[in-house]
Structure 1
Amino acid sequence: MVANGGRLADRQICVKLFVRHGDEDRAIAFYREALGAELLQRHEWPSGILTSADLRIGESVFRIAGANPRRDAEPKLGGPRSPHALGTTAVILELHVRDVDRVIGRAIGAGASLRNAAETLSTGDRVGAFIDPFGHIWALFNAMEDADVVDLSIEARNAA
């Protein structure tokens, strides 16, 4: 849950997705276009330089932040590092949506690459995955019996 002003509520985990320094605005635009994310708050230095931003998809809040270029370049300094610096990612972001095919199509159109084409499992569930332009893997699911999924359709965003 989110408290007033986009601030995280007590006892809530905030996932922070690191991107290459300077890609923060591009990442915000991608997640808004491809996944219908709502921008809750931008965090900037007094000079106006963007440091991070909080976004929400459904009830989930996550933060976009630019990785420190020195940490990206020098592994011995320790993380966090962007997936581009690592050459991989250590997590998969799982998102339950109403229409896997439509969301994957929108993500590809916004610059993502296909990881796993959408397919229907023996359970009737629809699944697929893409890699966003910043190296993060998104696995999409539409559980046929799960009515509690996020509707990322343009129509739903415009109706809100």
Structure 2
Amino acid sequence: MKIEEVFAYLCVSDTAAAIDFYQRAFGVSEKFRLTEPGGRIGHAELAFGPMTVMLCDEFPEFGIRSATTIGATPVSIHLHVDNADHMIEQAVRAGATLEREAQDAFHGERSGVVRDPFGHRWLIGHHIEDVSTDEMQRRYTGMPGGGETRPG
């Protein structure tokens, strides 16, 4: 048995609005959507380059609730791009909230963080230098707090 793929599957409070936002913020394309007669979107797929992110509206009858409804998200999605500063700026113009401006990080990436209008947190970064695992650990340990207070 082997794993062939893994997909992020986001529940949002308004899938149609989320699709529009992700298209404007990240330049993704909609692959398809499945809509119930009453208008609720049960499943949609977006192409993030060669990767797929799945979306759906809330289904409280099955315990499926959005980050907006629960007031938090325990997951951050890392979007690796060719220009983090530009993508962050584009996402903010589209309606995301800037949580952390892009900055060079100890692990060899320039990255920042935005929160989309649907409560999901996106780390957006690009490669700036090759860093060995040992060097990354040395830098992490040398950070204020020994790296203990610095989330992804």
For the aligned pair, the TM-score class normalised by the smaller chain equals 0.7 to 0.9
Larger radius of gyration: 2
Q: Normalising by structure 1, report the TM-score.
A: 0.72
Which segments of 5 or more consecutive residues in structure 1 lack a partner in the other structure?
1-9, 72-76, 147-160
Partner of 2:94: 110
Between 119-128 and 59-68, the greater mean CA deviation after superposition: 119-128
Which segments of 5 or more consecutive residues in structure 2 lack a partner in the other structure?
131-152
Q: CA deviation at 1:58?
A: 1.5
- The separation in 2 between residues aligned to 1:121 and 1:13, in whole angstroms, is 26
Q: CA deviation at 1:16?
A: 1.1
Change (3 A) 1:123 1:44: closer
The CA RMSD over aligned residues, in Å, is 2.1
Identity percentage of aligned residues: 33
Answer yes or no: is 1:27 the counterpart of 2:11: no
Partner of 1:95: 79
Partner of 1:150: none
Partner of 1:7: none
Change (3 A) 1:65 1:103: same
- The separation in 1 between residues aligned to 2:67 and 2:8, in whole angstroms, is 15
Pick aligned residue for 1:81 from 65, 79, 95:
65
Q: Normalising by structure 2, report the TM-score.
A: 0.75
- The separation in 1 between residues aligned to 2:104 and 2:125, in whole angstroms, is 10
Q: How many residues align?
A: 127
Q: CA deviation at 1:121?
A: 2.3
Q: Which one-letter code corresponds to 2:94 in the other structure?
A: A
